[in-house]
Amino acid sequence: MAKSKIPKLRRQKEKNGNDRAFVVLAGVRFHLGPYGSKESRGEYDRLTVEWLANGRCMAVEPDQITIAELVSRYWDYAEFYYANPNGDASSELVNYRQAFKPLIALYSETPAKDYGPLAMKAVRQRMIDTGWCRSYINRQVFRLRRVFKWASSEEILPASVYHRLETVEGLKYGRTDAPESGRVLPVEDHVVDATLPLLTPTVRAMVTVQRLTGMRPGELCRMGVVDLDMSGDTWTYTPTHHKTQYRGRSRTIYLGPKAQEAIRPYLRNLKGYMFTPEQADRERREIMHANRKTPLSCGNVPGSHCKPRPQRKPGERYSTGTYGRAIAYGCLQAFPAPKGMKGEALKQWNREHHWSPNQLRHAFATMVRRERGLEDAQILLGHAKADVTQVYAERDEQRAIETIRKIG
């Protein structure tokens, strides 16, 4: 991913007409003098050159680097490091953004060199108070420690700061107030069947394909026609990006006759993504129009409530989050909680009737393992271990194709 462009020289309008020039670097606004003057242009050039020479960071003495400054520097590094091959930001950036919230809320102006184990425990307690589960908190604390490890490797902070933070152990099961994460269980077929009619055709097709192939939600959201090999009776989908790609592993997903039939209406977009929120939004409006009870001669004209310039437009593809929320909306319609249900009873109801995309993958894995064995399940789900060679995949490719012919 390319780094951010050089911040522009900007104009701050004043009521008296004496407008001022300024530039924002590392979140700090620097006033440069009268707008349009040689003085402001020269000061802008000096500051931006220093900013670029210092790795797109403002020159700060190590003793003066605050937590906020450290987070800013690490974020520039993370945007480049956690980038997918196609240039999209990795989901790991979302995790870091969440991890930084309690850190910045408590210690933004604290010198980074003074951040120690007690401060880390205070941040961890803020995560517990927020309601995060134990395993997620441990992963987020690990990410925060990684920031200080990176700072030590770049000689931004002394290595002793990171080593002190290593003494903070993870939360133990049964010895913390943090709740435990619920185990992801396979979703029952009758629950999915009841939800499907309440989804838009696009989301319904996505659920059907994932249900028949067991692919990860992220792999499904990134599916494009150019990634498909439709030369045989069993199609193959090779994702341009997948979860274990950084480990040098390949990933092949097999699509049988039923999955092919589900995606056939979406093969028109030869260059972009197969399933788009724009198409789903158009389908939603068409369904609303078809169910309209007011005569067309009365009431609103179709499209009259559409904003000409909406603040948020449908994205070019679904993310795992938006895909999950589309399913959640269908679940709320298919299984509304009984009136007056609260507390643990409501939570139990949601666990039994509301499901997520990952549960489709678990259901597929359970079914394949039960009917075809563990080895076929590992191949179809892409769960080969690091020491498994390419010969292993070639040896079992025909078995996987025979399995998918019967399943999908």
pLDDT in tens, 34-54: 988 988 899 899 888 887 877
Question: Three-state SS for 327?
Answer: helix
Could you give phi then psi for residue 111, rounded to 5 degrees?
-60, 130
Q: Counting beta carbons within 10 angstroms of the beta carbon of residue 211, is it exposed (0 to 12), middle (13 to 18) or buried (19 or more)?
A: buried
Under 8 Å between Cβ of 331 and 353: yes
Under 8 Å between Cβ of 137 and 127: yes
Pairing of strands 228-229, 235-237: antiparallel
The pLDDT of residue 127 is: 95
Chain-centroid distance, C-alpha 108: 25
Summarize the confidence of residues 167-186 as an average pLDDT.
87
Q: Extract the tokens encoding 325.
A: 């929320």
Q: Does residue 275 carry a pLDDT above 80?
A: yes
The pLDDT of residue 381 is: 72
pTM of the model: 0.65
Flag the least confident range among 19-33, 91-105, 141-155, 157-171. Answer: 19-33
Q: Identify which of 3, 40, 116, 81 has the alpha carbon closest to the alpha carbon of residue 246.
A: 81
Q: Roughly what angle, to the nearest 10 degrees, separates helices 67-81 and 92-107?
A: 180
pLDDT band, residue 393 (cuts 50/70/90): very low
CA gap 380, 383 in Å, rounded: 8
pLDDT band, residue 148 (cuts 50/70/90): very high
Summarize the confidence of residues 293-320 as an average pLDDT.
75
Residue 297's Cβ-side half-sphere holds a number of Cα atoms within 13 Å equal to 0
The pLDDT of residue 383 is: 62
The CATH classification number of 189-291+315-407 equals: 1.10.443.10
Q: Which amino acid is residue 205, in one-letter code? A: A
Q: Counting beta carbons within 10 angstroms of the beta carbon of residue 13, is it exposed (0 to 12), middle (13 to 18) or buried (19 or more)?
A: exposed
Q: CA torsion sign, 297 to 303 to 305 to 308?
A: negative
As a whole number of angstroms, the longest Cα–Cα distance in the chain is: 79
pLDDT band, residue 386 (cuts 50/70/90): very low
Residues 6+ positions from 310 with CB-CB distance below 8 Å: none
pLDDT tens profile 232-267: 889 999 887 766 665 566 788 899 999 999 999 988
CA gap 23, 308 in Å, rounded: 32
Q: Does residue 311 carry a pLDDT above 80?
A: no
pLDDT band, residue 24 (cuts 50/70/90): confident
Under 8 Å between Cβ of 124 and 141: yes
pLDDT tens profile 330-375: 999 899 888 888 888 888 888 778 898 988 888 888 887 777 777 6
Domain 63-165, CATH number (from 1.25.40, 1.10.10, 1.10.150, 1.10.3470) = 1.10.150
Question: Can you give the residue ranges of every domain in the chain?
Answer: 10-59, 63-165, 189-291+315-407
Under 8 Å between Cβ of 156 and 65: yes
Of how many residues is the chain composed? 408
DSSP designation for 188: P
Q: Extract the tokens encoding 56.
A: 């797109």
pLDDT band, residue 387 (cuts 50/70/90): very low
